[in-house]
Amino acid sequence: MFIINKLKQISVAWYFLIVILLVYFFLFIFKQDLFFQSTAFFNSVIFKIIPIFVLVFVLMSITNYFVTPKFVSKHLNEKGVKKWIYIIIGGVLSTGPIYMWYPLLADLKNKGLSYGLIACFLYNRGIKITLLPIAIFYFGWKYVLVLSLAMIFVSIIQGILLNKLIK
């Protein structure tokens, strides 16, 4: 029973890693050429991204320190266009799992926040400031900049659309 409970506490991500490691283990035994080709590719990728993770860690710490749900809800009480700007900034800067924000958004909904603004907030969560170094590493700064701006623009469209669809 104790072991079953312990196993239930392990996240799916760890099971995924264990399965992949087992595949590599069997490859090492039965298909060494494939194993060495794959590990060579793995090394080339992992050593490039490790330094970027250090930067991501620093950015995440800074964001966690300054942007809290309390900070966001405080600034969402603005009016007019300013409200949309704060919603976008709030969405971009918000951290943590998305479901963590649902109760706060539901509470703000009860306090008068429109569905469009909630959708706009959630859409802008897709732009991850803390992960920008990795995105730039893979796709270049120009692409990341254009994509981020396009997403901000479209988040407003989605907000307006949902305000019209849900009345």
Partner 1 sequence: MKQAITKAGKGLWKAFPMILGTVLFISLASVLIPKSFYTTIFSKNIFFDSVIGSSIGSISAGNPITSYIFGGEFLTQGVSLLAVTAFLVAWVTVGLIQLPAESAILGKRFAFLRNITAFILAIFVALITTLILRVF
Residues lying near partner 1 in the complex (CB under 8 A) are found at 11, 13-14, 16-17, 19-21, 23-24, 27, 34, 37-39, 41-42, 45-46, 49, 53, 56-57, 60-62, 64-65, 95-96, 98-99, 102-103, 105-106, 109, 115, 118-119, 122-123, 125-126, 128, 131, 134-135, 138-139, 142-143, 146-147, 150-151, 153-154, 157-158, 161-162, 165-166
C-beta of 154: minimal distance to partner 1 in Å?
Answer: 5
Helix axes 132-139, 141-165, angle to 10 degrees: 120
Q: Which pair of structure tokens corresponds to residue 56?
A: 């991501």
Q: Which is nearer to partner 1, 41 or 85 (CB)?
A: 41
Q: Cα separations (Å) of 147 from 33, 44, 136, 154, 155?
A: 39, 27, 11, 10, 12
Q: Which pair of structure tokens corresponds to residue 122?
A: 């959630």
Q: Which is nearer to partner 1, 24 or 83 (CB)?
A: 24
Using H for helix, E for strand and C for coil, what is the string for 54-86?
HHHHHHHHHHHHHCCHHHHHHHCCCCHHHHHHH
C-beta of 7: minimal distance to partner 1 in Å?
Answer: 15
C-beta of 107: minimal distance to partner 1 in Å?
Answer: 10
Nearest residue to 108 (alpha-carbon basis) of 131, 65, 76:
76
Q: Which is nearer to partner 1, 1 or 9 (CB)?
A: 9
Q: Which is nearer to partner 1, 1 or 29 (CB)?
A: 29
Handedness of CA 94, 95, 98, 100 (dihedral sign): negative
